[in-house]
Amino acid sequence: MTRDLAGSVAIVGVAESDEIGVVPGKSSLMHHAEAGYNALADAGLSVKDVDGLFTAGFSTLATAEYMGIKPKYSDSTSIGGSSFLVHVEHAMAAINAGMCEVALITHGETGRSRRGARPPADASTPGPQFEIPYGINGAPINYAVACSRYMHQYGEDRTRQAMAEIAVSTRKWAQMNPKALMRDPMSFDDYHNSRWIAWPFHLLDCCLVTDAGAAVVVTSAARARSLPKKPVWVLGTGEHHDHALMSQMEDLTVHPAKVAAERAFGMADMKPADIDLTMLYDSFTYTVLMCLESLGYCGPGEGPDFVKNQRTAPGGEFALNTSGGGLSYTHPGMYGIFLIVEAVRQLRGECGERNVNPKTALANGSGGSLSSSGVLILGVD
């Protein structure tokens, strides 16, 4: 994306599905549709206005049919939890190319209610051949490998304390969000005493598994100015992925966000110090730590000092994951779209007691095994 596209589109509607958390009576498709209708209502639009449809990990054909949409532009790019931020970039390109004018991005997943036996892995793909036989199987294990390397390089004790800081501060934000699943207080002792999942991860290092959906509406600058709510301008975008298998990750302490952020900041003509609110995909506490460094908020190995003393908690000087994040708010399987929902609401001043009154926000999605990144820089007039 080039600098001249900055501010050419705006996010004009965001919403979750009607119920999120533990919702055993609804399908993934129902969450897609409810969130989509709710986001369009938030924007002052209807399905009749939608001519571009974006989903990840789910059929755009099924979503369009179920919602009564007949799009002239469709995109099902799926690179994990960062996909929805990438969809905003793709919607920007499509809108500026005249391929569509109103883009609806939806997601819905019954991650909690469909828990059970996993389908067999496709033996023709590399993972089942080269990683799964050796125990590298599943997100907690994969991410634990990367976190262990970070601890080796930068110190186990200081890394552990940083992860605790992130878990505790994020829960404090969740306590201010009525939609968050986990709102009970969390102390540092609670964190350290929680059961082990895959060393070095305790239970409270790991994201939730919930049922939920969310949707985002993107449109042209001209259309945005005619709608009832304050437009949230897309000032910068970037995407990048560099591996699929954990064993092929070049540096286990550096996230693909490093490349994506350079592009996004370049497009926006901004730097990390210009950002008022930061929303990071917190699949694990370690993901947050490494992304703070990879995005340029601090240098390699400096993350533990950056987050110490509850700097990212309510009342701290660095607003981070104000919804309660994937750790305490919701996480149906792919979380990235919820980063956008919170950032937009914060920029519009709709978050009640947890609002931090930002003028700019950065959202970074992470997908796969620390494999992909989508970075958005957003702002309001």
Give a yes or no: residue 163 inside a domain: no
Q: 61 CB contacts (<8 Å, ≥6 apart)? A: none
Provide the CATH number for the domain around residue 63: 3.40.47.10
Quote the pLDDT of residue 118: 55
Give a yes or no: residue 141 inside a domain: no
Give a yes or no: residue 349 inside a domain: yes
Q: What distance in Å separates the CA atoms of residue 368 and residue 11, rounded to the nearest whole number?
A: 26
Of the residues 143, 281, 286, 335, only one is catalytic, namely: 281
**Helix (H), strand (E) at residue 174:** helix 156-174
Give a yes or no: residue 296 inside a domain: yes
154 is catalytic: no
Of 55, 30, 13, nearest to 334 by C-alpha is 55
Give a yes or no: residue 165 inside a domain: no
Q: Print the domain residue range for 223.
A: 9-116+207-379
For residues 57 and 66, the answer to whether their CB atoms sit within 8 Å is no
Quote the pLDDT of residue 285: 98
281 is catalytic: yes
Give a yes or no: residue 128 inside a domain: no
Strand 73-75 and strand 102-110: pairing? Answer: unpaired
55 exposure class (CB count in 10 Å sphere: 0-12, 13-18, 19+): buried
**What are φ and ψ of residue 196, in 5° steps?**
-75, 140
Give a yes or no: residue 189 inside a domain: no
Quote the pLDDT of residue 130: 80
Is the whole-model pTM more than 0.85?
A: yes
Q: How many domains does the chain have?
A: 1
Quote the pLDDT of residue 135: 81
**Residue where the block lists tokens 């995005």:** 295
Spell out the per-residue pLDDT of the chain, length 381, in tens.
678 999 999 999 999 999 999 999 999 999 999 999 999 999 999 999 999 999 998 999 999 999 999 999 999 999 999 999 999 999 999 999 999 999 999 999 999 998 655 566 677 788 878 888 888 888 999 999 999 999 999 999 999 999 999 999 999 999 999 999 999 999 999 999 999 999 999 999 999 999 999 999 999 999 999 999 999 999 999 999 999 999 999 999 999 999 999 999 999 999 999 999 999 999 999 999 999 999 999 999 999 999 999 999 999 999 999 999 999 999 999 999 999 999 999 999 999 999 999 999 999 999 999 999 999 999 999
Q: 344 CB contacts (<8 Å, ≥6 apart)? A: 11, 14, 216, 232, 378
Quote the pLDDT of residue 131: 82
The number of C-alpha atoms within 13 Å of 34 and in the hemisphere containing its C-beta is 16
Q: Which amino acid is at 18?
A: D
Give a yes or no: residue 101 inside a domain: yes
Say what the alpha-carbon torsion angle 19, 22, 27, 28 is, to the nearest 10 degrees: 80
The sheet with strand 73-75 has its strands ordered as: 73-75, 52-54, 102-110, 211-220, 9-16, 232-241, 372-379, 360-367, 277-280, 319-320
Q: What distance in Å separates the CA atoms of residue 354 and residue 159, rounded to the nearest whole number?
A: 27
**What are φ and ψ of residue 302, in 5° steps?**
-95, -5
Q: What distance in Å separates the CA atoms of residue 244 and residue 123, rounded to the nearest whole number?
A: 15
